[in-house]
Amino acid sequence: MIDGTMALVVGGLFAIGFYLMLQRSLMRIVLGFILLGHGTNLLLLVAGGTPGRPPVLAGTTDASARTADPLPQAMALTAIVITFGLTAFLMALAYRSWRLSGHDEVHDDVEDRLIGTARERAEAGPAPDRDEGASASGRDEAGPAPDRDDGGTAPGEAR
């Protein structure tokens, strides 16, 4: 019963942590990272076996069945220290971003979006009703696009 409950708690912490890390708010990302750290710590402690058993029994020969495994406990302690350090670093980054921009939203990377668009066009291939080298406007697709202003038209074009 305890193992099933702990499995649900660990799974819930991981699910909520990953959900929060996929958000655009930096504070939600930090909270998601914290929940992932707590889920990892619980997972490591559950992997250690039944709590309350001594790590070493003196004077017994059949101690392997009754002793606790100290390795998951040491790994959980290490995970706590690493989670604390990374949380402090992420909080400093979030604070710095908030001070510079006034909010904690993560902006889209325009260059990354342009690369993704170019890759999608290259994977799609040429349109079946067009020439391979020319677009509908007569310009070469591979050539540089004209500079655009905020209105989405090329300089000199009518709106």
pLDDT (tens digit, 9 = 90+) per residue, 83-117? 999 999 999 988 998 898 888 888 778 888 888 88
Is 27 within 8 Å of 93 (Cβ atoms)?
no
* pLDDT, tens only, 20-31: 999 888 899 999
Q: Per the confidence metrics, is the pTM higher than 0.75?
A: no
**3 state DSSP class of 1:** coil
Is 29 within 8 Å of 23 (Cβ atoms)?
yes
Closest to 114 measured CA to CA, from 144, 154, 158: 144
**Angstrom distance (rounded) from CA 88 to CA 33:** 11
Q: 52 in the Ramachandran plot: left (φ > 0), alpha (ψ -120 to 50) or beta? A: left
